[in-house]
Amino acid sequence: MKPPFYTRFVFVALVCALLGIAIIIQMVRINYTSYADDLMTKSIDYQGVHKLVYPARGTIYDRSGSILATNQIGYELGIDLKFVNDPESIAFAVTSLIDRLDYAQIYGLASIESRGESENRYFVLTSYVSKEKIQELETLEESYALRREQNKTTKPNLSGLVWTPMQQRAYPEGNLAANVLGFYNYFSRETAQGVYGIEEAYNTLLSGRPQYIFMPNNPYLVEALPNIEPGASLVLTIDREIQKMLEDTLVEALEWSGAENGTIIVADPETGEILGMASTPFFNPNEYWTYQETFSGITPYNRAVGSAYEPGSVFKVITMAAALDSGVATPDSTYNDATGVYWVADSWPIYNWNMGAWGEQTMTGCMQYSLNVCLAYIADELLQEDLFYQYLQAFGFGRSTGIDLAAEANYPLRLPENNQWVELDLATNSFGQGIAVTPIQMVTAISAVANEGNMMMPHIVKSVVDRGQQYDVSPQIINTPISAETAETLTEMLTFTLEEEASLALVEGYRLAGKTGTAEIPTEGGYTSSLTNTSFVGWGPSDDPKFLVYVWLEKPTISKWGSEVAAPIFRNVVEKLVVLMKLPPDDINQEIVNE
Amino acid sequence: MKKNLLQAYKQAPWRVQVQWIGLFLLGLVLVAAITGVYLNISAQAADTGRKIQGLESDIDDIMNDIASLTTDLAVARAENTMLSRANELGFSLLDPRSAIYLEIPGYDPDEKLVLAPKRLTTISEAPSIKASYTQSLWDWFSETFWNISRNPPQSTGEQVP
């Protein structure tokens, strides 16, 4: 006998069983439909987030540990539609704080109705909002909360407005050393990279290695995130006090001389360390997006390394070094400048700067009075083309110095084996015309004269700090183009000529060696003699050089002569430099040594 | 008689019911206990996971704060700011001729800047996690009871007034 309600129980059991079977069939069926992949992808999304974590970019210090480039916090401002219930307040708050955003646009984005069927629940309004602006937003949110509580309403309300911290590059010194540092274009994190200067040259080291990490939503799977090492930090050879002094001096020099642009470099000839490098135009890397306005056209970012020019008579230092070192001349060798003109291959005349004849002169006199005809004679007849260009190549002309800055320019050296070379080049090259060099090439070459014949590799980075270890950059000798005796002799010659000339470059208490340069500027219509490039290179103290200063002013209007424009700038620099470098005057130094 | 004897050994129905109920309740208690332990451990694991997430977030916040403060400090000590302050206080650049120079043995005006922390010469050998997290339940029991039997809890010696 069947129990009561047996049929009903069987019916319910069958329905439940069929339902279960239907569910199982549906589960199996879904796995073979086109939605299966989508569902799998979504299920993976729900498991957590794969995130590319960027390490903090390395800090850049000057040689004494002052920060030149670091990171600070900016905020990404976005709207999460899931939590928005008062788009008016959000639009008002955001547009009142950030001028460039539009009320109607923000209101439209924040209104769920106006978003329609879009699945996008979060979108970015703007990036890198300052900490101060975010603090204002927080204050506003607190005041809104108070009003809601007092009025027992749900508005005004900023819920749904989200700010997320993110690191951005900061240059606390502003313009200072910007031409050396370069900048970091951080707005787009995926494509951000260092541009120009140290930021570009050491981009890989500074950036560190980004890592993909998985952040699970399931708390059981949460583990401590891997330690992501920040990018390497760099200690520069730059001394920010010297750099500041150079930039201030350069600004004053441009105002005083009417020059279009200028460059001043201070280097340690013993090590090749660049202590300061000022170049115009100046630039604030904190606002790197204004780059195009400052460096329009082909304006180089850093003229000291990125601009080649005909240096003029400062190049005579190289010619004279070659003559003394090869033995074709001594300081007392004579040249008779009877006519004031030197004929190259009986075809091209070379004149002195004042078109005059200076009579019989020693080599020291040739340098003192900067006689073009004398130097042309040395190159053309004493050194001749093979020896002259061998020395030029030994001094590094025609190739990059290898300084650790991005965008170093190099103008190839025109050699006798090139088709474009003519015999006139040999004569004009001897006094720095018809040859293009960068200021850093000149500094590197002349560092050999100031450093016992050893030409040092110019460098900006003093040490690298990476993963708790500090690696120092050792000074490197690139070449020894001249002997120590030649270097000493030439330094003594140029010290003597500076003193005899009563140059405007002289600094009381210090013996300095130096040479002026005035170069005509090549144009499409030939050389212009009214506008010039004025330069000065000097080093000291002569007995044991601790610094080498190179000054280049483009197209000064106050005077066209290097001796009247660049030489006093050199003096201004050295007067402050000896204080900043703690170098006592020669007599006091001698007393200390004697004691 | 035989039939009666068999009947005498049969459990009373209520006893059978009590035994079944007892067995069922025992199973239920066991399942509840295991579920309780499982839930407890799961809850702790989830709580720890959330704490880790919170701590990671705190680390991020702290790193951001450090970056901000470092920048603020660098801005406050920028060359322009320091020069302005020096000028306001009446300082000016030294005239090298008026300076008094002293020779200080061992003083290096261009002393090398050291930014990397000094390297540790000793490496800690202490394990980073407790043994109880890695050993088996049996090991844990035996070690715990072994320790208790060897070092029974003792009075701290404190005098209670």
A512-536 pLDDT, tens per residue? 999 999 998 887 777 776 789 999 9
Share of chain A above pLDDT 70, in %: 98
pLDDT tens digits, one per residue of A57-91: 999 999 999 999 999 888 888 888 878 888 899 99
Q: Does residue A556 share a domain with residue A435? A: yes
Looking at residue A580, its pLDDT comes to: 92
Q: Does residue A417 share a domain with residue A272? A: yes
- Structural domain boundaries, residue A503: 240-594
pLDDT tens digits, one per residue of A238-295: 999 999 999 999 999 999 999 999 999 999 999 999 999 999 999 999 999 899 999 9
Looking at residue B52, its pLDDT comes to: 84
Write the ipTM. 0.79
Q: Read off φ and ψ for residue A76, nearest 5 degrees.
A: -90, 130
Share of chain B above pLDDT 70, in %: 80
The residue with greater pLDDT, A543 or A125, is A543
| Interchain contact, A584 vs B50, CB within 8 Å | no
Q: Does residue A269 share a domain with residue A156? A: no
Q: Does residue A521 share a domain with residue A380? A: yes
Domain membership of residue A177 (yes or no) is no
User: Given B42, B75, B114, which is nearest A470 (Cβ)?
Assistant: B114
- Report the chain B residue with the minimal C-alpha distance to residue A169: B71
| Interchain contact, A222 vs B97, CB within 8 Å | no
Residue A582: strand, helix, or coil: coil
pLDDT tens digits, one per residue of B95-127: 777 788 887 888 877 777 888 776 655 555 555
User: Given B49, B71, B99, which is nearest A70 (Cβ)?
Assistant: B71
Q: Does residue A419 share a domain with residue A281? A: yes
| Interchain contact, A173 vs B42, CB within 8 Å | no
Q: Which residues contact A236 (CB under 8 A, 6 or more apart)?
A: A60, A61, A62, A63, A68, A180, A198, A460, A461, A462
Angstrom distance (rounded) from CA A71 to CA A131: 13
pLDDT tens digits, one per residue of A32-47: 888 888 888 777 777 8
Domain membership of residue A181 (yes or no) is no
- Nearest chain A Cα distance for residue B154, angstroms: 39
Domain membership of residue A480 (yes or no) is yes
Residue B157: strand, helix, or coil: coil
Site of tokens 């699945």: A119
Q: Does residue A254 share a domain with residue A116? A: no
CB-defined contacts A:B, below 8 A: 118
| Interchain contact, B68 vs A595, CB within 8 Å | no
Q: Does residue A364 share a domain with residue A262? A: yes
* Integer angstrom CA distances of residue B126 from B123, B139, B143: 9, 20, 19
Domain membership of residue A204 (yes or no) is no
Tokens of B138: 């049996």
Beta bridge partners of A517: A535
- A374: domain CATH number is 3.40.710.10
**pTM of the predicted structure, to 2 decimals:** 0.82
End residue of a domain, out of A153, A170, A187: A170
Q: Does residue A275 share a domain with residue A158? A: no
Domain membership of residue A36 (yes or no) is no
Share of chain A above pLDDT 90, in %: 64
Domain membership of residue A561 (yes or no) is yes
Mean pLDDT per 10-residue run, chain B (161 residues)?
58 90 96 93 86 86 88 93 93 80 79 74 57 74 78 53 40
Tokens of A258: 């009417």
Q: Which residues contact B31 (CB under 8 A, 6 or more apart)?
A: none
User: What's the structural domain count of chain A?
Assistant: 2
Domain membership of residue A516 (yes or no) is yes
Task: Give the start-to-end residue ranges of the domains of chain B.
Answer: 11-90
Residues of chain B with Cβ-Cβ distance to A244 below 8 Å are 79-80, 83
Q: Does residue A256 share a domain with residue A147? A: no
User: A549, A523 in Cβ contact below 8 A?
Assistant: no
